[in-house]
Amino acid sequence: LGTGELAWRRIAPGPRTPGEVVAMVVTSAVLPPVAVWHWVTGFRRALRLADQPPTAAVDAVLFDRDGTLVNDVPYNGDPALVTPMPGAREALDRLRAAGVRLAVVSNQSGVARGLLTPSQVDAVNERVAELLGPFDAVLVCPHGAEEGCDCRKPEPGMVLKAAAALGVEPGRCAVVGDIGADIGAALAAGARPVLVPTALTRPEEVQTAPEVVPSLAAAVDLLIGVGP
């Protein structure tokens, strides 16, 4: 009945010649199953795509450590004091599932000040990896602000070295941190900066950051294209 109605609606305007009537009847019979076939094919393809992890907007994410991945304990050299930030493990695992490479880029001026030893910094980083999963690279700047190195954030050196270690162009990296130095290092290196503020983040740092999100989960949503 539906095919007959379709055929009649196409025939009725005319000119109703025998050839046109035959053509309208035949094509009206063919159109519905062809349309259904295309719909089913598209629906099946959509189901397959839905099962795939989302495509990330970046190839690598470089995380600040203290205040971003773990609670900020000033000049911490004790692995027992390492406590992950809320949702950190879940956020990192989502990035891993999306094929995004991960690194840590951390200022540790306590080494230069004699408050930490390099081995203590390494021990804390190992504990971070135990709690949050493996990282593809871990970079640390042991220098003080007065040393004028190119690796201490907001200088770009550590971000550039991390990108090189991961085999990723800086422009395909994001830097996620909690203070303005993280944002400055990302911008200086040509990477994408994402600020996740804490109670210690200054208001002016929030105001000037190009992208600000309330949590690590929201940062991952942003970087793998989930949500509005």
Tell me the catalytic residues: 64, 66
Report residue 110 as tokens. Answer: 């306590």
DSSP readout, the chain? Answer: -HHHHHHHHHHTTS---HHHHHHHHHHHHHHHHHHHHHHHHHHHHHHHHHTSPPPPS-SEEEE-SBTTTB---TT---GGG--BPTTHHHHHHHHHHTT-EEEEEEE-TTTTTTS--HHHHHHHHHHHHHHH---SEEEEE---GGG--SSSTTSSHHHHHHHHHHT--GGGEEEEESSHHHHHHHHHHTPEEEE---TTS-HHHHHH-S-B-SSHHHHHHHHTT---
d(CA 161, CA 167): 10
Q: Check if the beta carbon of residue 100 is closer than 8 Å to that of residue 60.
A: yes
Place of tokens 């009847």: 25
Which residues have a Cβ under 8 Å from the Cβ of 123 and sit 6 or more positions away? 77, 79
Report residue 199 as tokens. Answer: 């109670």
